[in-house]
Amino acid sequence: MRKLMLFGRVGAGKTTLTQALRGEEIKYFKTQYVNYLDTVIDTPGEYTERRETSGALALYAYEADVVGLVLSANEPYSIFAPCLTSMVNREAIGIITGIDKPDANVERVERWLRLAGCKKIFPVSSYTGEGIKELADFLNDESGVKRKKTVERPNYSLKKEDNQDLPTWLL
C-alpha cells in the first residue's frame, strides 16, 4: 500500500478519514503533532493554516508516496492556493470529506481542488463508508510507484580500535 500524507485545515476530517481507512471505530481525536501511522501520515490542521508551519508540510511530503489535500464538502472557502500541488514532489490527490452532510457542495469543492492541481479527486464519507473503498483501492494499486533503493552503507564505529580497516587519515 502506498503511504498517504493528509493535510487540510482544522476540522476537515483528516483523522476521521484515517480511522475509516484503517477500519477503526470513528471517535474524536485532536491531532496535536504529525502522526506517522503504518500507511498514513496525519498532520495537524494548524500546520496548513499557519504560514510559519506550512513549509514543514512540503518536507513531510517526502516521507509519503501520495499527498492528499483534504477539504470538507461544506467548506466556505478553499485554504489551498491555485497550483499548490507543484510544491510537493509527489502525486497529489484531492479528498472531499463529509459528502453526507446536508449542506455539502461537492461540485464547488471539487473545482477548488482542481485549481490547486489535483488530477484525481475522491469524494468520501468516513461515517457512511461511501468512497472509502475507492480511495483504499487507489492506495493499494502500487503500479507505477517508484521507490528509492536502499543503499548498504558500511557500519563505522566511533571507537578507533573498531575501525582498523580505515585509512589512518580518517581516524
| pLDDT tens digits, 21-76 | 988 888 887 887 788 888 898 888 887 878 777 778 778 888 889 999 999 999 99
Say which range, 44-58, 63-77, 118-132, 150-164, has the weakest mean pLDDT.
150-164
pLDDT band at 154 (very low <50, low <70, confident <90, very high): low
What mean pLDDT comes out for the span 157-167? 58
Residue 122 within a domain: yes
pLDDT computed for residue 132 by the predictor:
93
Pairing mode, if any, of strands 4-7 and 66-72? parallel
CA atoms 21, 133, 58, 90: torsion sign:
positive
Cell of 141: 494499486
Say which range, 82-96, 100-114, 150-164, has the weakest mean pLDDT.
150-164
pLDDT computed for residue 82 by the predictor:
92
Residue 166 within a domain: no
Cell of 38: 503504518
CATH of the domain at 122: 3.40.50.300
Residue 168 within a domain: no
pLDDT computed for residue 130 by the predictor:
95
Q: Whole domain around residue 69: which residue ranges?
A: 4-147
Residue 160 within a domain: no
pLDDT band at 141 (very low <50, low <70, confident <90, very high): confident
Cell of 117: 492541481
pLDDT computed for residue 122 by the predictor:
97
Percent of the chain with pLDDT over 70: 83
pTM here? 0.80
Count other Cβ atoms within 10 Å, centred on residue 64: 20
Number of domains in the chain: 1
Residue 66 within a domain: yes
Q: Give the distance from CA 136 to its chain's centroid.
A: 13
Residue 159 within a domain: no
